[in-house]
Structures are given as C-alpha cells and as structure tokens.
Amino acid sequence: MYDSFLVRKGSLRNFKEDGKVAGFCFGVRIANYRGVFLSLHNGYYVEVDGESYPVALQRFGVNGKPPRSFEELKNNAVYEHWDMQDEATLYIMKEGGLTPGVHRVGILESILCSYGRMPRDEEIVKNPPVPTPNVHGQGGGGSKTTDVSYFDLELQE
C-alpha cells in the first residue's frame, strides 16, 4: 500500500551529532490503513545508491521523541502508538552522511502486525526476521507492502 508515497520527497538530509555529520535521514509514512504499537516495528530494509544499511544502523524518530533504535522500540514502546496519520523520521547512521546531489533510496517496511496468531509467531519472538527484500515472501512481516519502493531524492541543505 502507498508504495510510491512512503518516503516524502524533499525530506532527505544529513544530520549532526556532537557537531559532526553522523548520518542521513528522511521522512517515512506507514504502509497500512491503520497505525500500530511501536513494539511491532521491526525496522526497514534500506538501500541507498545500491548500498544497504542494516537495522542496527537505523534509528526511528516519532511522537516528538529523540530517535530510538528498533531494539529500544521493541522492548520499551509496547503501548506507544505510531498513528497512521503521522510522519516519522528514519535516521541512518553513516559517518559523514551522504554527498550532495540525487540519491536513489529504496525501502521496505517490516512491521510485524497481523490479524491473529500465526504459526511462525514463536519463531519470530526468538529470531526476528531480518528485513530483506523477500522477508514478506517468507511470511515474516505483516505489512501491506511486499516490494522495495524506490525514490530519487535530492539531498537538502
């Protein structure tokens, strides 16, 4: 759902930590007709110009709070909701950030929501699926989008 609208055009920029460019970030929306508790969010498959950035390098900025890791969301955002109407910011840690110009960003959201218990639930608790382009084909995600969506974004000042 909303495949070609999941990343906001004009939102790609570098960000600083302690005065140094620590990575880049962009605005994302949920690929669903409803919001979810943040503990269900398992991160993204992210690639930029062909290079992928694992969940360990991702931080999620939502509800006006400082960016948090997906591990933090899983453990401590059990009753905190990402509302369907709200844009969040996906931060990617990358020393020096991105170079000026246009970058090809691909994302696939992995939110583990479902309509009921599924055979793989116990396994997912033990070994959360790694968001990859085919994670949903393996039954690991409950998101309404199954393919990587690509966006050509110009780095903003």
Partner 1 sequence: MAIKRGVSLYSYQQEEWFGRWTWRDQLREVALNLDGADGIEIISEATIPQYPYPSEAFIDEFNTEMARWGLQATTLDAFPDPLQFRRDHVMNDAEMAERLKIDLRLAKKLGMKNIRVLGNTIDSVKLALPLAEELDITISQEIHFPSPIKRDPNSQRYNKIMDILEYIEKTGTKHYGFQPDFGVFRTAPSDVYLGYYFRMAGYEEYAEHVKAVMEAFKCMSYEDLVEWAKKTYPKVFNGGWADGELRPASAAPEELKLIAPYIYCVHGKFFHMMEMPDRPGEYEDLAVDSEGAIRVLKEIGYEGYIDSEYEGQRSQQDRGEAYLASEIEEVRRHQKMLKRLIEEA
Contacting residues toward partner 1, per CB under 8 A: 1-5, 29, 33-37, 39-40, 74-75, 78-79, 81, 83-85, 112-118, 121-122, 124-125, 128, 144, 146
Q: How far apart are CA 139 and CA 120, in angstroms?
A: 8
Which residue number, 21 or 118, has a Cβ lying nearer to partner 1? 118
Which residue number, 21 or 139, has a Cβ lying nearer to partner 1? 139
| 123: three-class secondary structure by DSSP | helix
Handedness of CA 81, 28, 127, 72 (dihedral sign): negative
| 5: three-class secondary structure by DSSP | helix
Query: Cβ 46 to partner 1, closest distance in Å?
Result: 20
Query: Cβ 80 to partner 1, closest distance in Å?
Result: 9
Query: Cβ 96 to partner 1, closest distance in Å?
Result: 33
Backbone angles phi, psi at 32, to 5 degrees: -160, 165
